[in-house]
Structure 1
Amino acid sequence: MPSAETTSIVTVVPRHPSPQLASATAIIRRWIRTNLFGSFRGGLVTLLTVALVVVLVPPLLHWFVTDAVFQGRSRSVCGTGACWAFVTDRIDMFLFGRYPAPERWRVKLAGLVLLVFAVAAAWPRNPRPVLSVLLLVTLCPLIAGTLLLGGVLGLPVVPTDQWGGLSLNVLLTYATVVIALPIGIVLALGRRSSLPAISWLCTGFIELLRGVPLLAVLFMAMVMLPMFLPEGTSFDRLLRAIVGLSLFVAAYLAEVVRGGLQGIDKGQYEASASLGLSYWNAHRLIVLPQAFRLTVPGIVNTVIDLFKDTTLVSIIGLFDLLGIIGQALKDPNWLGLGREGYVFAAGVFFICCYAMSLYSRSVERRIAQARH
């Protein structure tokens, strides 16, 4: 007879991962084995890197974020972590220097004008790129300079000794590139000239400027440049710095452009001559456009170095971002907080330089696609 109790039998069916999950897992394992543990040395470096991250990241995270203070009016609010209150309290000074507070809208508007002209010139689908570049180096500095200096349209005059902060670093970089790049092109063409006098003169100028430190060039611009002017003529300190930076950077850009010119095939010159083009038309229409495609990384690298080197102007009495931070640290309310100020400056410079590097790589990719 059947039992009153019913026995239920449960069959356990093993669950297998889906093919997609198994494939993704295999890919991850293969990548780890190939890139992180491909050899004994690679595995050792990976383990040491992981150990270094485990040791360093937690205390840095505590100092930067967890134990940090972000608001306050003096160092009395600071604790064991970073005192970012110093940065937030002086952020306007770090950006605009000693530019009068009621007139700082002019600096913001000038920066916006520069950004608009730069974006228009860098836009890949711009139907008139040459016109945009010409406006960037002619009309843009005229508008920005009028806004910053004043004296017209009812704008009060703001002397250049009150300009400073990060805006001064951007201004010095922009003005120097606008002046130095045309000079560098002329020097590169002159060094390759078949006329010995022109070639020797350009070579001597390039080697002289490349053979001395930038700081020495800036001091020469401060001290010696007024000696070549008529007696009683005053020369603005900011303009002296721009002249010194422009001459120094022009020597480096000349070598970058010369390298691009040497990379152009000789047949391009012969084709230009067969078309009846003059020396200048051949370089303007055929040679230089191809040379610039080859020199994009070198030019951007020089601009990045220039942007960082503009911090040296604080030694000659111009208060850029680093100079303003040094001045802010003399405030009794914020004594001893140099770490936070200089970490902030390092972060700002890294972001700006990395952005320029990313743009350079995007231009290189577009050039490579255009070739294919």
Structure 2
Amino acid sequence: MSAKLQTLKVGLFGTPLNSLITVVTVVLLGWVVSPLLRWGILNATWTGTSADCALGIGGCWAFVGAKFRFILFAFYPPALQWRPLIVMVLLLGLLVVTAQPRFWRKGLLVAWFVVIAASWMLMSGTLTPSVVPSNQWGGVAVTLFVWLVCFGLATPLAILLALARRSGMGGLRTLAIVFIELMRGTPMVAILYVAMLILPMAIPNGQLIDKNIRAVIMITPFWSAYLAEVIRGGLQAIPSGQYEAAAALGLGYWRTMQLVVLPQALRFVIPGMVNLAIGFLLATSLLAVIGIFDLLNAARSSATDPQWLGYYDEAYLFAALIYFMLCFGGSRYSLWLEKHLHRPECR
């Protein structure tokens, strides 16, 4: 028997208490999973119309098939839905490239700006005829766009905030502390209402700003405050000998941070940053409060169609599956990156 199987056997049945917990857990899972299996697979309706689903006793996955494009693209014109599809491919491709350390060069920053700008122009119709207003955007493309833009902008801002909070300059440190604690003490819903109601009043001459841009402007500093605390924890984990060695080599403050401290600190906080990234992705569902049709809001609205009224369970389960694939992929990537960047600890 392999070591892993032996460890699993001991963990499940190593003691009478462990054996009892294992048996009770299996019984509870059987009690819960069995009806879900019958509802979701065995008795489900996979094709047909809403009338066919009404005759069945299981889940109506024909609804997901009928509303698949709406959940992905919301109200975007059907004839132009190839645009958000290309945007989704571009954004996911950018994620895949960014996730590989061999591409961590200055050119990657240029790629971020190019992909984000191209995605915006493609969605709005700047690059091709037929302009599509942002109130028709929605679904997975908008969720990915807002998430990537906000997280991408929040990361460098968070690094500066973390450095400022550890600065020896009292005024700068105080400002950083006030900003971080104020943002972390404010609900994200309140931040979104500020983006919707307060921010437009601060714009001179009554100019209007796209609601997606308003969301990015307010969410970015909000997320940066949380990221800053995670990065500050990584900075505190760096031994003082690293600073002393950099000073002995004649490196200034910024060169020390760039070449010595930040690479190690960011490596220490990979799990925390990925955890926050996953949480931020799930938090994009709150964009519905300012009228942005993200993935979850599009799924909910799809079940209000009079022809498919009331199939909320199927809609939410499909949206949950998409969220799960993105989040589970991120968690597995975090484990891989930790092992890939593992280095002997220096003192």
TM-score bracket, shorter-length normalisation:
over 0.9
Contact 1:117 1:135 in 2 (8 A): no
Task: Return the match for 2:24 from 48, 54, 78.
Answer: 48
Match of 1:96 in 2: 73
- The offset of 1:174, in angstroms, is 0.4
Q: CA deviation at 1:147?
A: 1.5
Q: Specify which of 144, 155, 158 is matched with residue 119 of structure 2.
A: 144
Residue 318 of structure 1 is aligned with which of 272, 292, 296?
Answer: 292
CA distance in 1, matches of 2:175, 2:131: 41
Matching of residue 308 in structure 1 with residue 285 in structure 2? no
Q: 1:370 to 1:111 in 2, by over 3 A?
A: farther
**Which moves more between the two structures, 129-138 or 334-343?**
129-138
Q: Distance in 1 between matches of 2:5 and 2:219?
A: 52
Instruction: Tell me how far 1:325 sits from its aligned partner.
Output: 2.0
In the alignment, is the contact (CA less than 8 A) between 1:93 and 1:324 conserved in 2? yes
For residue 187 of structure 1, what is the aligned residue in structure 2?
A: 161
Aligned to 1:341, the other structure's residue is in SS state helix
Query: Is structure 2 residue 224 aligned with structure 1 residue 250?
Result: yes
Partner of 2:33: 57
In structure 2, the partner of 1:349 is 323
Given candidates 297, 308, 324, the residue that maps to 1:334 is 308
How far the C-alpha of 1:186 sits from its partner, in A, is: 0.9
What letter matches 2:325 in structure 1?
I
1:122 equivalent to 2:99? Answer yes
Q: Secondary structure at the match of 1:194?
A: coil
Instruction: Decide which of 244, 251, 262 is 1:270's aligned counterpart.
Output: 244
| TM-score, with length taken from structure 1 | 0.87
Out of 177, 191, 196, the position equivalent to 1:203 is 177
Of stretches 58-67 and 140-149 in structure 1, the one that deviates more from structure 2 is 140-149
Aligned length in residues: 345
- Can you list the C-alpha shifts for 1:119-162, whole angstroms capped at 9, x where unaligned? 233224x2x5223431343222122222122223x332211111
Is contact 1:322-1:342 (8 Å) kept? yes
**Pair 1:217 & 2:194 matched:** no
User: Which residue does 1:229 correspond to in 2?
Assistant: 203
Partner of 2:48: 72
The answer to whether the 8 Å contact 2:200/2:206 transfers is: no
Aligned counterparts, 1:14-53, within 5 A: 24=1, 34-53=10-29
SS state of the match for residue 271, structure 2? helix
By how many angstroms is 1:32 displaced?
A: 6.6
Amino acid paired to 1:159: P
Counterparts of 2:8 and 2:98 in 1: how far apart (Å)? 43
Residue ranges of structure 1 left out of the alignment (5+ in a row):
1-23
CA-CA distance at 1:280 after TM superposition: 1.5
Q: 1:116 to 1:31 in 2, by over 3 A?
A: closer
Tell me how far apart the structure 2 counterparts of residues 287 and 357 of structure 1 sit (CA, whole Å): 25
In 2, Cα distance between equivalents of 1:120 and 1:310 = 23
Amino acid at match of 2:176: C
CA–CA separation in structure 1 for the residues paired with 2:185 and 2:321: 31
User: Does the 8 A contact of 1:72 with 1:89 survive in 2?
Assistant: no
The answer as to whether partners of 1:36 and 1:42 remain within 8 angstroms in 2 is yes
Which residue in the other structure is 1:297 paired with?
A: 271
Q: Percent identity?
A: 39
Q: Which structure features the higher share of helix residues?
A: 2
- TM-score between both structures, scaled by the size of structure 2: 0.93
| Paired residues of 2:270 and 2:338 also in contact (CA < 8 A) | yes
User: Could you list the runs of 5+ residues in structure 2 that have no partner in the other structure?
Assistant: none
- For 1:171, the equivalent position in structure 2 comes to 145
Distance across 2 between alignment mates of 1:27 and 1:182: 43
Whole-angstrom CA distance in 2 between matches of 1:350 and 1:113: 20
Classify 1:335/1:29 alpha carbon distance in 2 versus 1 (closer, same or farther; 3 Å): closer
For residue 82 of structure 2, the aligned residue among 88, 105, 108 is: 105
Contact 2:162/2:232 (8 A) holds in 1: yes
Hey, what's the Cα distance between the residues in 2 that align with 1:358 and 1:29? 22
Letter in structure 1 aligned against 2:278:
I
> Taking structure 1 as reference, are residues 100 and 227 closer, same or farther at Cα in structure 2, changes over 3 Å only?
same
